[in-house]
Amino acid sequence: MSSALVYALTGAALFVLGMAGLILQPHLLRKILAFNIMGSGIFLMLVGVAQRAGTPDPVPQAMVLTGIVVAIAATALALALARQLLDMNGEMRLPEEKTGKDRLDV
Amino acid sequence: MFDPMPWLILSPLIWATLAFVHGPGRGGRLAVACLILQLSLAAILAQQVIAGGVRMYAVGGWGAPLGIDLMADGLSTVMLLLTQTIVLPLAFYARAYFVGHANSLRYFWPLTGYLLAAMNALFLSSDVFNIYVTLELLGLAAVGLVALVGGAGPITAAMRYLLATLLGSSAYLLGVALLYGVYGSVSLVALKPLIAADAPATVSLAAALMLLGLMLKTALFPFHFWLPPAHGGAPAPVSALLSALVIKASFYLILRLWFDLFAPIVSITAAQLLGALGAGAILWGSFLALRQTHLKMLVAYSTVAQVGYLFLLFPLATGMSAEVAESAWQGGVLQVVAHGLAKAAMFAAAGAMITATGRDEISGIAGVATRIPLTLFAFALAGVTIMGLPPSGGFAAKWLLLGAALASEQWWWIVVMVVGGLLSAAYVFKVLRQAFLPVEETASFQLLPRMLEWPILLLALASLVLGLVGIEVLSLLGAA
Amino acid sequence: MNFNETLPLLVLLSSLLPGLIIFALPDERHGLRSLINMVGSTLQLLLIVYMLRGVMHGEEYIYHFTILPGLDLVFKADALAMLFVPLSAALWFLTTLYAIGYLEGSPHRNRFFGFFSLCVTATIGVAMAGNLFTFFVFYELLTLSTYPLVVHRGTEQAMRAGQVYLTYTLGGGALLLVGIVWLYGLAGQVEFTHGGVLAVLWPEYTSQLRVIFFLLIAGLGVKAALVPLHGWLPLAMVAPAPVSALLHAVAVVKAGVFGIVRVVYDVYGVEFSQSLHLLMPLAVMASVTIIWGSLRALFQDDLKRRLAYSTISQVSYIALGVAIFGPMATVGGVVHLVHQGIMKITLFFCAGNYAETLGVHKISEMDGVGRRMPWTTAAFTVGAFGMIGLPPLAGFISKWYLGLGALEAQMPWVIAILLASSLLNAAYFLPVLYRAWFQPRTEAWPEEQIPMQNGRETAWLLLVPPLATAVATMLVGLFASSTLSPLTWAKMIAAREYLYWMP
């Protein structure tokens, strides 16, 4: 098993784990953490790809750096929103009743 | 030769930042001035593309693979032109709409500017990673706009929207990583021949991930759960921007990937599946729109339904004869343009009606026909496009799609389109009917400033006139 | 672009622009609004007279505008169009006069007149459409512009009628659209041409052509109120009288039946339709409608409802004339397009006069109206006699040619239908006339709004239009053989449609 494949599989596992968390965890903080785990999975994969040919490939490294910046921005925004929700609702979760359901106003 | 491409990205970045520093008053005026400039830039670009085909621009003179290439072809120019055309009237509208809401307006201009910069950059990007970055920026700016007015409803909607959009872009990014792993490139131009030559299973996985992520962002049924609260709950100018443009950006990417990058590996089965989801969106979205009691929620569900029409393009254009495919493709793009204009007008009109009556239920808009006929007229004109009745842009699109369906003998899509058209007539007239009902003279009614009403009419008229000048749009589309 | 090309556009603009300007006017500018209306409609009439002269001298008025590849908007003033266009324009002129009087003092008049002008524009567009696509565009525009007129009063009943109207017409429009797109797929872009254009597709696409024919007729039959697609029409009469008048006489039902004429004659070609065996079902459908409409009319006490059912029956004469193979029947059907229009608009004007002047809506309330309103009742009588088909009035001419056509085509059962229908017409009109003229008035009028003044039974603006159309009903009958009559024009059309039949 090549090291690139190890990276790739670990990355994929992290991605799936994160995705499950993002969808299934009700607590917003956990959702946000799960998103970051997903991101890490992808970055790991890219870093693995970069090492494939003897000399490191700079392009994926640059992509990971950019990705990290984007992820930080997204996380910051998510935390700010979660904080506001906490102030208003007193808890860090999305109101349950309408989640994923269509509104049937009658 | 002067190149408008980088300026289309820089201009909104600059005015967004200046608007943040200078506050909404001067910021708003600056934004309007720059938007006029951007519209001219897009028009210049369109002329250049018509005259000379695809245009490339290497940012900073670096060029791929290390630098970033910008690329403008027919499709991206149509999208750029559409974006600037919609945002300019909406900017006038927003200035009138937010009078007395200085706090919301403070962040409206900067966020809109960043949104626009991201969107223009997205349409001009020529590599899949750069597209990821613009996509993410677009999503973050859009979420910020949804949360603009604060309050439990909008913040919840914004949070849900943020999670959905992050999930979508993560899936997309994973696809990009896989593609790079296989081919060692992210450039659209470089990847295309490589995929055509040899596409291992990993590439199919990457394609599926990228498309799924984008479908989530486009709110295709059944991934539409986040859209109605976000679009219906945001202030009207924001709803208009989101429904008319933001979801179109991710749809544009699906078009790019499907017909360009992944054209060698897409299958008819997958296309039929996309079409089936589109049909589900049309029927389910229209049905739910019909059941709404709140005006903006009705319009939001209408967006869910109209997105469905866009996806009918895939079964009609994939694996069919060149002629059928072209007609379907043209119909799909016209639908993007027509719906963008009409839905912007519709949300803006809904916002104006709610402002005037002070009520956001459909039952509250009785008497609108007498008090603000201009707005209602604009709403009705936009409705004509949504219903796909002549002589509107929506009709031209439907005509082409119907023609493609008949020519390829896929009658089931015809049934969907016809039923969807009738359902949309039902929900549009549900609003119009209410507006015609008489109301007691005593009912309180706020007069609307002219600058709130005229931009709506302008947008609605544009969606109508599109039906007569569709051939111009198509000639730009086919220029490259 | 030369003058001849712009002329059809100018005709359209002469009613479209007044409409748009009126929308922008404040509601109180009554004088200005009436002026704009009258100027527009006079201008339109003048343009049309000029075009009529031209068409008689063999001029071509045709305008092309490409909106999508292989898809043109075409306006064409051919003989058939020039039968329908003058009718719409003339009746628009009269109805506008009438409406100005009728709506005196009621609210939202700019909305009313604005949509009224749009509605006429759509009708003229339908008449001058040079291909099916153009036809469809204006056909749907007609639906949209008449809806606000139907629901104008904003009452619960009007709203329900509007909803039913929309359901029927938009549903029909959808069928029509599918048919047209399908046809474009098979035959490409086809312009309306005398004698039809689809015969080249025989025999390969016969079955498809039959299905398309069915779709087209079903879509058009909704507006033409063919049984069983007629349900919306009796409900739509809740609209104000000028609207009903225009809807029944020219705009909506005529657009539907005119479409049938176009499809049979100028798309399929009457000879080709006959060879596909498409005409017989249409003839049967029209006959059923004629009888059914008359039967239902018998049992209505509401005057406008009775007239509405009568419309259902009478409009199908046109469809019947189209469906009987032979030039005589064509003449009868096509000329009835005009004749039915002027007769029915007379009747609706009069019904409106009774309602507006005396508050009389029901036939049972009509005792003695003939003495109170002799001129109106005289006009009503002319219209009713015309409908029954008494010579020498307009309706007689139509029925005469239909009968001749039926004999020519060896369809004697059609004669029976015509006779039965005339008897039924008499059965539902004569009692009305009897009450009006011969029954004495025993009680007060339900709601007398316009009192008798200097021997004038009602407002001038309400009286002149029905008298004018009543006189026209007599003139087109009396002078049917003159060179300017609708009959002569219809004969010219028939001569052009039957390529092999008539030399």
pLDDT in tens, B59-73: 877 766 667 889 999
Q: Which amino acid is present at B48?
A: Q
pLDDT in tens, C84-117: 999 999 998 999 989 988 888 787 888 888 898 9
Question: What is the pLDDT at residue B372?
Answer: 85
CA angle C74, C76, C77 (to 5 degrees): 165
Question: What is the pLDDT at residue C499?
Answer: 61
| C355 lies in some domain | yes
What is the DSSP-derived secondary structure letter of residue B364? G
**Can you give the three-state secondary structure of C11-45, one letter per residue?**
HHHHHHHHHHHHHHCCCCCHHHHHHHHHHHHHHHH
Could you tell me which residue, C396 or B99, shows the higher pLDDT? C396
In angstroms, the separation between the Cα of residue B400 and the nearest Cα of chain C is 9
Q: How far apart are CA B444 and CA B452, in angstroms?
A: 19
CA closest to B418 among chain C residues: C174
Could you tell me which residue, A42 or C194, shows the higher pLDDT? A42
Asked whether residue A104 carries a pLDDT value surpassing 60, the answer given is no
pLDDT in tens, C392-402: 888 899 999 99
Asked whether residue C502 carries a pLDDT value surpassing 50, the answer given is no
| C292 lies in some domain | yes
Query: Contact A81/B158, CB-based, under 8 Å?
Result: yes
Could you tell me which residue, B234 or C502, shows the higher pLDDT? B234
Contacts of residue B393 in chain C, CB cutoff 8 Å? none
| A32 lies in some domain | yes
Q: How buried is B392 (Cβ within 10 angstroms: 0-12 exposed, 13-18 middle, 19+ buried)? A: buried
pLDDT tier at A99, thresholds 50, 70, 90 = very low
Cα–Cα distances in angstroms (integers) from residue C242 to residues B33, B145, C28, C196, C239, in the given order? 50, 50, 20, 36, 8
Q: Which amino acid is present at C127?
A: A
| C453 lies in some domain | yes
CB contact, 8 Å: C174 with chain B? yes
3-state secondary structure of B292: coil
| C86 lies in some domain | no
Question: What is the pLDDT at residue C185?
Answer: 87
| A95 lies in some domain | no
Q: Which amino acid is present at B164?
A: A
CA closest to A33 among chain B residues: B163
pLDDT in tens, A28-87: 999 999 999 999 999 998 888 777 667 778 888 888 999 999 999 999 999 999 998 888
3-state secondary structure of C456: strand
| A12 lies in some domain | yes
With tokens 């098979």, the residue in question is C186
% of chain C residues with pLDDT over 90: 43
With tokens 């799609």, the residue in question is B401
In angstroms, the separation between the Cα of residue B164 and the nearest Cα of chain C is 37
Asked whether residue A101 carries a pLDDT value surpassing 60, the answer given is no
Q: How far apart are CA C494 and CA C335, in angstroms?
A: 10
And the tokens for C368? 């003695």
**Can you give the three-state secondary structure of C229-266, one letter per residue?**
CCCHHHHHCCCCHHHHHHHHHCCHHHHHHHHHHHHHHH
Count CB atoms within 10 A of the CB of residue C157: 11
Of residues B200, B130, B143, the one with CA closest to residue B172: B130
Segment B131-151 mean pLDDT:
92
CA angle A13, A18, A20 (to 5 degrees): 100
Query: What are the residues facing B70 on neighbouring strands?
Result: B57, B125
Tell me how many domains chain A contains: 1
Segment C182-192 mean pLDDT:
86
Asked whether residue B117 carries a pLDDT value surpassing 90, the answer given is yes
Range of the domain at C331: 278-503
Q: How far apart are CA C371 and CA C363, in angstroms?
A: 15
Q: How far apart are CA C202 and CA A36, in angstroms?
A: 67
| C360 lies in some domain | yes
And the tokens for B365? 């808009």
Instruction: Identify the H or E element spanning B66.
Output: none
Query: Contact B180/A8, CB-based, under 8 Å?
Result: no
Tell me how many domains chain C contains: 1
Q: At what angle do helices B322-357 and B393-407 cross, to 10 degrees?
A: 150
ω into C412 cis (within 30 of 0): no
CATH code, domain carrying A26: 1.10.287.3510
And the tokens for A35? 């998103």
Query: Contact A95/B180, CB-based, under 8 Å?
Result: no
Q: How far apart are CA B375 and CA B162, in angstroms?
A: 32
Range of the domain at A47: 3-89
Selected residue of B386, B417, B436, B453 to mutate for chain C interface (largest C Cβ count, 10 A): B436
pLDDT in tens, B428-444: 999 998 888 877 766 77
Sign of the Cα torsion A58, A60, A63, A67 reads negative
CB contact, 8 Å: A54 with chain B? no
% of chain B residues with pLDDT over 70: 98
pLDDT tier at A8, thresholds 50, 70, 90 = confident
CB contact, 8 Å: C413 with chain B? no
Could you tell me which residue, B342 or C206, shows the higher pLDDT? B342
And the tokens for B113? 């500017």
| C440 lies in some domain | yes
Asked whether residue C28 carries a pLDDT value surpassing 90, the answer given is no
Question: What is the pLDDT at residue B442?
Answer: 67
Count CB atoms within 10 A of the CB of residue B411: 12
Question: What is the pLDDT at residue B64?
Answer: 65
Question: What is the pLDDT at residue B312?
Answer: 93
Of residues C58, C54, C35, the one with CA closest to residue C46: C54
Segment B141-168 mean pLDDT:
90
